[in-house]
Every structure is written in C-alpha cells, then in structure tokens.
Amino acid sequence: MAKKDKKENMWLWESVETTDPKFTKKVNQRGGFTAISAQYQLMTATETFGPFGTGWGVKDERIEKWEDVGLAVYTGILWYIPAEFKKGIPVIKEEPSEFPIHSSIKYHSNGRVDDDFMKKVATDALTKGLSKLGFNADVFMGKFDDNKYVNSLKESPKKKIDDGVWKKEVSDASEKLNQKDKESIMNFLKDGSINSNNYKKALSRIEELYKSYTNPED
C-alpha cells in the first residue's frame, strides 16, 4: 500500500482545528476548562461532511444504566463520508468511515436524578469523537489557555467568502491543467468535494498537479 502524503493525512484536521471563541465559554468546575457549543460543533461537521444523516451521523446508539453506582454509559458509532485524494485533489468517497464513541455520566446522586443525562452523555461522546478527527483541536490541545492565542482569533475573525469568488478562483486556476484534469476539478466543484472550507488547499493541489506534468500542455 502506498504511503500517504503528510499533507493529505492532515488535510481534514487542519481544516477543522480552529475554534471560533464566540462559541466557547470558560467553566470553573473540575479544575476549569473551555466548553464548546454543541450546536457549533454540529454546524462545523455539517459544513465539512454535509447534512446530518447524509454526510455524517451516529448509529447503533446505546445507553446502559449501572444502577448500583448511578452511572449511565453511552456507546455509539460515529460515521462520516471522508475525502480521499486523487492526483492531490480531495474527492468525496462513496463508502463511509466509522469508529466507536463512548462516554459516561452520573445520572443520579443523593436521590436526585439528572433529567438531561441522556442528552449530556450523548453530546459528550460526540464531542470526543469529533475531536479525534481534529475538530476544535486548538481547545483540546490547550491553546485556549493562552489569552494571546484567543485574542488573536478574536482580532482576526474567519471571514465568510462569497461562493462566487472562491469558485471562480478555483475555476481560473484549473485553466492551466490538461482537459481531463480540468474537467475533474469542475466536477469536484459541482459535487461539493471542493468547498469554501478546503478550496485553498485545493488551489495548492492544483498547483502541485500542474508542476507534476511532464508536458503541461498535454
């Protein structure tokens, strides 16, 4: 099996690792930590993979109650439609990838039952699962403990790029490719394999592809 390029291995991670500070809050419990908005995570995953249930989702969910210790244990399978690389360009695969996720939570203590324990334990498992793909990695790697890092994100907010602008940029860049590769790029634009989240990396791949030609005019 051919060894994957490091850039390809890190492509997904690097596209989802940065967290918008306005969707986080400091929690002064358990030693203190940064909490990430669950809805923000759902939105980011949807931007990356497509709608929940179509481009990604969770299946085989199960919650067991350990009555003797008041513990609820959640397990499930996180699945998503990943991208693979063809000639350095990310292409959405047809077959999903998947891996197990799990979490646990105290659902009753001192005679009191937490009515939201099912939501909490499922959300925690999903957060941990997405983190394995690189989502919000800057939070989990402790970068949000550095005020300078957080302030730099606040001062340089991620700008939303108009679809027409970045699509034209990709289309223009593909003009120097041969006809077959140019058509592939245009198809990737149409099916969403190249999108606003990864178009800059796609531009870099196009440039690498162009440089790899023995004869660019083929």
Calculate mean pLDDT across residues 4-11.
73
Report the SS3 class of residue 209: helix
Note whether residue 217 is domain-resident: no
Note whether residue 77 is domain-resident: yes
User: What pLDDT score does 57 carry?
Assistant: 96
Q: How far is CA 92 from the centre of its chain?
A: 14
pLDDT in tens, 61-84: 999 999 888 899 999 999 998 876
pLDDT at 218 over 60: no
Amino acid, single-letter form, for residue 3: K
Domain count, the chain: 2
Note whether residue 140 is domain-resident: yes
Same domain, 92 and 190: no
| Token pair in block for residue 19 | 């967290």
User: What pLDDT score does 75 carry?
Assistant: 97
Final residue in a domain of this structure, among 126, 155, 184: 155
Q: What is the CATH number of the domain that holds 63?
A: 3.30.390
User: What pLDDT score does 92 carry?
Assistant: 60
The pTM for the full model equals 0.69
Buried b (16+ CB within 10 A) or exposed e, 22-48: ebbeeeeeeeeebebbbebbeebbeeb
Note whether residue 74 is domain-resident: yes
Same domain, 77 and 33: yes
Same domain, 25 and 83: yes
